Amino acid sequence: MLASLLQHGAGTAGHAAVAAGAAAEAFGPATAGWLLAVPLLPLAAWVVQILVGRWLPRQGDWLPTGAMGAAAVIAIWHFVKVLALHDPEFDLAAAVELPRWKFFFSDPSLTTGLAGFSAGILYDNVSAALLAMVALVSFLVHLFSVGYMQGDSRYNVFFSNLALFTFAMLALVISDNLLFFFVFWEIMGLCSYLLIGHLAADRKEPKMSAAWASMKAFMTTRIGDICLFIGMMMMWKAFGTLSFRELYAAVEAHVAGHGGDWSPWLTGAGIMMFLGAVGKSAQFPLHVWLPDAMEGPTPVSAMIHAATMVAAGVYLTARIYLLLSPTAQLVVACVGGFTALFAATIGITQFDIKKVLAWSTISQLGYMICAIGAGGVAAGLFHMLTHAFFKACLFLGSGSVIHGCHHEQDMRKMGGLRKKMPITYLAMLVSTLAISGVPLFAGYYSKDTIIAKALERGLAEGGLIWALPFWLLVVAAAITSFYMFRLIFMTFHGRPRAHCSEHAHESPWTMTVPLIVLGTLAVLGGKFWLLDPLGAFSAGGEWFTELVHDPVHFVDHETAHHAHLTAMGWSLAAAGGGIFLSCLFYLWRRLDPARVAAALGACYRLVYDKYRFDELYLATVVRGSLVVSHLAAWLDRTFVDGLVNAVGRIMAGLGTASAATDRVVVDGAVNFVGEATAAAGQRLRRLQTGRIQQYAYFTFAGAVVLAAVVLYRVF
C-alpha cells in the first residue's frame, strides 16, 4: 500500500539514464560554479558594501543591485535550460559531478558523527524554479529600493543587509541538507531582524516601534527555528544523516521496516520540523510577527513576503514532505487551512494598506502550507511562485503609493489615486486579480490547483477532518477577493479623501520598472497563454505542475480530473462572490461598511484587534518569561548567593568565636601576667618623679632605715 503511495513518477531506469545524459549535455562541468555564483555574488556585494560601501559613489547602491542583476541572469539562464530539458525527474547531481564541502572537519580520516557531514548542492526542478524566482524578485526589489530608500540616513547599511538577505535565501534554496538549510534560514532571521528594525536605528528620527517589531519577529520565528532544530536532531539521531535525499530513503526504509506504520516519534519529528515553517511562514499560532514586520521599509516587506523569508517556510515544508507521516500531514493541512481563513478575516478589517497586505500574505501562505499538507506539493510551490510575483508587485505598488502619498499608509486618507498613478494602479489591479483567483491571471492557476488538491485528499481519505481544509480554503478565497478589492477601491477609486492623496505623483522609473515586470509576471506567471489564448481556460498545461510532480498521488487520474472541475467551480464562485460584495460596499457604495461593523459590535472589534493574540502572548509568554527571569534573578541574588554569603558569614562567625576563645582563655593567662606586671609598674612609676632632690630624700630615708636596722635590729 505504502510502497505504491511513495512511488516517484513512472520513469524506468532506462528513461532515467537517457534523461541524465541529456542533462549532462545541457549542463557542463562549470555548472556548479555558475550555481554557486548565484548566492555568492550578493554575498560578495555584501562584504564590500559593509566594509567600504559608505565611501563608494552613491553609497554603493549599484553594487548589490548589480550583483543581484547578474545573479538573476545566471539563475534564469539555468532555469531556462532546466525548462528546456522538460524532465520531471531532473536532478543535477545525477548528471554532473558536484562539489561537496566537508564543513565541520576537512580531515577525511574523521568520519564519526558530524565529522562525516558534508554539504552539497541540490539543484532539481523545484530549486531551479525557486532560484530564478528569488533572484529575479530580489533584483527587482533592489532596483525599487534605489528609488524608494533615497535620502535614508543609513542607505548603505540598508543595501548591505538586503544583499545578505538575498544571499541567505538563494543559498538556502540550493542547500541539499537540513543543517545548511537551517544555517541560511537563521541568517535570514538575522537579516529580517536588521531590516525590520532598520528605522529603529535611523539617524534622524528613530522609530521605537520598529525596534519592538524586529525583536518580535526574531523571537517568534526563533521559537519555530528551535523546533526545527529539535526535529533535525531527532532525524539525525535516528538516521545519522541530514541530507534530504538520504533522509527520504531512510524514512522510507524505516516505514517499510515497520510494516508500513509510521512510528509516533517520526510524526513528532515531522511536526517539530514543520513548526519551523510555522514560525518563518507566519502560520497560526506563530503568525503574530508578520503584521508587525510592516514597520520595516516597504521594499523589505516585499522581500520578506514574496521572495525570501516566508517562502522559505513553504519550501521547507515541501522539502520535508516525504518525511511527514499522514498524521503530521493532517496537522500541516489543518494549520494551513485554518491560517488561510483566520488571517483573511482579519484582512477585512484593517485600514493600513500594508497591514492588509500582510494579513493577505499570511492567508496565502496558509494556502501553500495546506496544499503541501494535503499532498499537493507542486501546487503549494506553484502558488508560492505566482504569489511571489503578485505579492511583490502589490507590496512594491503599495510602496509606490506610500511614496507618492508622502508616507501615508492609512487607506482612509487615500482614494482616487487611479489617475495620478496609472502604472502603479494597473500593476496593483492586475496583481489583485491574480490573488483573487480570476482566470487568466497567474494566481488563478495555482490557487485552483491547491483547492483541487485539498478536495482530492479529502475524497481520498474520507471523513470529516480531511474535508475541512477544502472548505476552509474556499471560504478564505471568497474573503480574499473581497478584501483585496476593498484595498483597490479604497486606494485608487473614489475621490481623494485627504491632502496627501490629492498631491500624489507617480514614482520614478526605478520604482515603476519593477512594477511593470512583476505585473506582467502576475498575469503570465501561471500559464503562458499569450500564444495560445484558448488554452488559458483548458485544464492542465501550467508550466510548473508539468515540471514538478507531486511525489505521491492519492487518487487516480479520473477522480483527480473530476475534483479539479468541482474545485474550479467553487473557487470561481468564491472569487466572483467576493468581488461582487466588495463592489457593493466600496465601489457602488450600496452598503455602508461602517454600519455593518457597528452591527457586528464586539465581534468586529475582536477581529479588528487580530483576535487579541498579541495581548494573549504578551500576557502569557512574554510576561511569563519576564516574571520567571526576574524570579530567577531574585532567587540567585537572595538564595544562591545568599547561601554563599551565609556560609561565608558562618565561617567568619566561627572564626570570630575561636579568636575570642583564643583571646580570652589562652592569651588571657599570658596577658594577665604581663598586665599585672605592667599595672604594678604603672603604680610604682609614680615614685619616679624625676626630681633628684626627692631621690635624695629617699636615699637619706633609706640610709636612716638601714642605720636603724643595723644599729637597733628593729626588724
Partner 1 sequence: MELSAYLAVAALLFLIGLVMVAARRNLIYVLMGLELILNAANLNLVAFNRFRPEGMEGHLDGQIGAVFVIILAAAEAAIALAIVLNIHSLFETIRPDDIDTLKD
Partner 2 sequence: MLTDHLLSLITFLPLVGMVLILLIPKDRLGAIRWTAAAATGVTLALSCWLWFGPFDAAIGGIQLRESAPWIPAFNIHYTMGVDGLSLPLVFLSALIHFVAVFASWNIKKQAKGYFALLMLLEVGVNGVFLALDFFLFYVFWEIMLLPMYFLIGIWGGERREYAAIKFFLYTLAGSVLMLVALVAIWLKSGGMSGGTFDLLVLQEMARNWAADPSTFLGMKFTTWIFWFLFIGFAIKIPVFPFHTWLPDAHVQAPTPISVILAGILLKLGAYGMLRINFPLAPDAFHHFAYALAVLGAINIVYGAYVAMGQTDFKRMVAYSSVSHMGYFLLGAAAWTFTGLNGATLQLFTHGTSSAMLFLIVGVVYDRLHHRNLNDFGGLGKRMPYYMGLSIVGMFAALGLPGLSGFISEAMTLMGSYQVYPVLVIVSTLGILMTAAFLLYAIQRVFLGPLPEKYESVPDINGREAFCMIPFAFLCVLVGVLPSLILDKMGPTLELLRDQLAAVVGG
Which strand (E) or helix (H) includes residue 293? none
Partner from partner 2, partner 1, none binding residue 691, C-beta < 5-8 Å depending on class: partner 1
**Does residue number 184 form part of the binding site for partner 2 (CB under 8 A)?**
yes
Least spacing, CB of residue 207 vs partner 2, in Å = 8
Partner from partner 2, partner 1, none binding residue 24, C-beta < 5-8 Å depending on class: none
Least spacing, CB of residue 685 vs partner 1, in Å = 7
**Does residue number 696 form part of the binding site for partner 1 (CB under 8 A)?**
yes
Residues 50-89 that bind partner 2 (CB under 8 A): 50
Question: Beta-carbon neighbour count of residue 56 at 10 Å?
Answer: 14
Q: Which residues contact 714 (CB under 8 A, 6 or more apart)?
A: 708
- Cis amide prior to 439 (ω within 30 degrees): no
Phi then psi for residue 106, to 5 deg, are: -80, -15
Bridge partners for 640 per DSSP: none
Least spacing, CB of residue 711 vs partner 1, in Å = 15
Partner from partner 2, partner 1, none binding residue 693, C-beta < 5-8 Å depending on class: partner 1
The secondary structure of 322-389 as a DSSP string is GG--HHHHHHHHHHHHHHHHHHHHHHHH--BHHHHHHHHHHHHHHHHHHHHHTT-HHHHHHHHHHHHH
From the list 233, 498, 500, 536, which residue makes contact with partner 2 (rule: CB under 8 A)? 233
Contact pattern for partner 2 over residues 208 through 227, marking x by CB under 8 A? x-xxx--x--xx--xx--x-
Least spacing, CB of residue 656 vs partner 1, in Å = 38
Sequence-ordered alpha helix ranges (H) in 409-463? 422-436, 442-461
From the list 83, 115, 583, 618, which residue makes contact with partner 2 (rule: CB under 8 A)? 115
Partner from partner 1, partner 2, none binding residue 17, C-beta < 5-8 Å depending on class: none
Which part of the chain contacts partner 1 (CB under 8 A), choosing from 550-558, 600-608, 631-639, 686-694? 686-694
Which part of the chain contacts partner 1 (CB under 8 A), choosing from 245-253, 302-310, 476-484, 683-691? 683-691
From the list 688, 711, 712, 715, which residue makes contact with partner 1 (rule: CB under 8 A)? 688
Q: Distance of CA 293 to CAs 17, 126, 242, 540, Å?
A: 48, 28, 31, 37
**Does residue number 57 form part of the binding site for partner 1 (CB under 8 A)?**
no
Q: 366: exposed, middle or buried (C-beta count within 10 Å: 0-12, 13-18, 19+)?
A: buried
Question: Beta-carbon neighbour count of residue 598 at 10 Å?
Answer: 10
The secondary structure of 115-139 as a DSSP string is GG--B-B--BHHHHHHHHHHHHHHH
- Nearest Cα to Cα of residue 318 among 390, 382, 261: 382
The secondary structure of 42-58 as a DSSP string is HHHHHHHHHHHGGGSGG
The secondary structure of 629-682 as a DSSP string is HHHHHHHIIIIIHHHHHHHHHHHHHHHHHHHHHIIIIIHHHHHHHHHHHHHHHH
* Cβ(575)–Cβ(478) below 8 Å: yes
From the list 629, 658, 671, 682, which residue makes contact with partner 2 (rule: CB under 8 A)? 629
**Does residue number 592 form part of the binding site for partner 2 (CB under 8 A)?**
no
From the list 109, 534, 684, 691, which residue makes contact with partner 2 (rule: CB under 8 A)? 109
Least spacing, CB of residue 160 vs partner 2, in Å = 10
Q: Which residues contact 562 (CB under 8 A, 6 or more apart)?
A: none
Nearer to partner 1, 590 or 691 (CB): 691
**Does residue number 186 form part of the binding site for partner 2 (CB under 8 A)?**
yes
Least spacing, CB of residue 642 vs partner 1, in Å = 56
Q: How many residues bind partner 2 (CB under 8 A)?
A: 64
Nearer to partner 2, 637 or 663 (CB): 637
Partner from partner 2, partner 1, none binding residue 483, C-beta < 5-8 Å depending on class: none
Partner from partner 2, partner 1, none binding residue 103, C-beta < 5-8 Å depending on class: partner 2
Q: Which residues contact 399 (CB under 8 A, 6 or more apart)?
A: 144, 148, 298, 299, 301, 302, 511
Partner from partner 2, partner 1, none binding residue 534, C-beta < 5-8 Å depending on class: none
Whole-angstrom distance, CA of residue 246 vs CA of residue 620: 40
**Does residue number 265 form part of the binding site for partner 1 (CB under 8 A)?**
no
Least spacing, CB of residue 693 vs partner 1, in Å = 5
Whole-angstrom distance, CA of residue 84 vs CA of residue 150: 40
From the list 10, 13, 692, 710, which residue makes contact with partner 1 (rule: CB under 8 A)? 692
From the list 685, 710, 711, 715, which residue makes contact with partner 1 (rule: CB under 8 A)? 685
Nearer to partner 1, 537 or 700 (CB): 700
Nearer to partner 1, 645 or 694 (CB): 694
Nearer to partner 2, 639 or 697 (CB): 639
From the list 689, 705, 707, 708, which residue makes contact with partner 1 (rule: CB under 8 A)? 689
**Does residue number 144 form part of the binding site for partner 2 (CB under 8 A)?**
no
For residue 660, how far is the Cα from the chain centroid? 67
Nearer to partner 1, 464 or 692 (CB): 692
Whole-angstrom distance, CA of residue 460 vs CA of residue 458: 5
Residues 18-57 that bind partner 2 (CB under 8 A): 50
Nearer to partner 2, 17 or 110 (CB): 110
Nearer to partner 1, 666 or 696 (CB): 696
* Cβ(186)–Cβ(236) below 8 Å: no
Contact pattern for partner 2 over residues 192 through 211, marking x by CB under 8 A? -xx--x--xxxx-xx-x-xx
Nearer to partner 2, 180 or 395 (CB): 180
**Does residue number 652 form part of the binding site for partner 2 (CB under 8 A)?**
no
Q: What share of the chain is helix, strand, coil (3-state, %, to 5)?
A: 75, 0, 20
Q: Distance of CA 185 to CAs 200, 309, 670, Å?
A: 23, 8, 79
**Does residue number 628 form part of the binding site for partner 2 (CB under 8 A)?**
yes
In sign, the C-alpha dihedral spanning 411, 414, 415, 416 is negative
The DSSP letter of residue 175 is B
To the nearest 10 degrees (0 to 180), the angle between helices 442-461 and 377-404 is 140
Bridge partners for 177 per DSSP: 243
Point out which residues bind partner 1 (CB under 8 A).
685, 688-693, 696-697, 700
Give the binding site for partner 2 (CB under 8 A). Answer: 50, 102-107, 109-110, 112-115, 154, 179, 182-187, 189-190, 193-194, 197, 200-203, 205-206, 208, 210-212, 215, 218-219, 222-223, 226, 229-230, 232-234, 236-237, 625-626, 628-634, 636, 640-641, 643-644, 648
